[in-house]
Amino acid sequence: MSDDLTALGGGPTPIPTDSRAGAAQLEAIAVDPEVTGARFVTTELLAWCPVTRQPDHYRCTIDLVPLAGKSIETKTLKLYLASWRDDGIFGENLAAAIARDLAAATDAAITVELTQNVRGGIELSATARA
């Protein structure tokens, strides 16, 4: 374990109350140069429609290609994704924000695909790259 990681192994970590605070807590880990990619998948991403304030539940797939030998530390990723639960944001913008924040934290190529649970008979999928 790296000495510069603050969330991993430190006991319960409070979930940030907003996504910007969550982004600031993202941590990167060093990965072996032979690692050519990592995929993270969750169905526990929640945000709110900024107009109706109805909850939007997402399946989120994150593909990461380490360009500088770094990947994302998963505990901080979980906390970051949970921090969106109080934000009003459209799915397309959410995908772009997550891709930007993860790319900034890892210097990696990031692709984020969000699939919103069906609401009103429409399924939304949005993809963003950074």
> Which residues are catalytically annotated?
49, 56
Pick from 123, 55, 38: nearest CA to 89 = 55
Is residue 105 within 8 Å of residue 39, measured between CB atoms? no
**Distance in angstroms (rounded) separating the CA atoms of residues 56 and 38:** 26
Q: How far apart are the first and last CA of the chain?
A: 28
**Distance in angstroms (rounded) separating the CA atoms of residues 68 and 57:** 32
Is residue 117 within 8 Å of residue 58, measured between CB atoms? yes
Is residue 84 within 8 Å of residue 95, measured between CB atoms? no
